[in-house]
Amino acid sequence: QVQLVESGGGLVQAGGSLRLSCAASGNRFIIITMGWYRQAPGNQRELVASVTRGGRTNYADSVKGRFTISRDDARNRVYLQMNSLKPEDTAVYYCMADIAPQRYWGQGTQVTVSS
């Protein structure tokens, strides 16, 4: 069984920064892709950013140039550095890890950006 635990959410003013962290734990595994999704009230869950084991990154257009995803395979962690935050970034952010043959999710961490 694999567990993902997020940390780093909170309340920040527009223009501020936050750094989310996610740690994967459990039995021996190899994480193929790690990433972050978010879900705002009334909206579907959407991809924010992902990074493959080879280091290829993918970002939602709305966060390009503001957010940076990184991973530490030695520690089974993924990070999301969020800069220039906007009120529309307010959502619950979920960590994701693809560990064959399934996808795992964290419990979510709230990010609130005030105007």
pLDDT digits (tens, 9 = 90+) for 6-56: 999 999 999 999 999 999 998 778 889 999 999 999 999 999 999 999 999
Which residues are registered as beta bridge partners of 71? 78
pLDDT at 86 over 90: yes
pLDDT at 57: 98
pLDDT digits (tens, 9 = 90+) for 46-73: 999 999 999 999 999 999 999 999 999 9
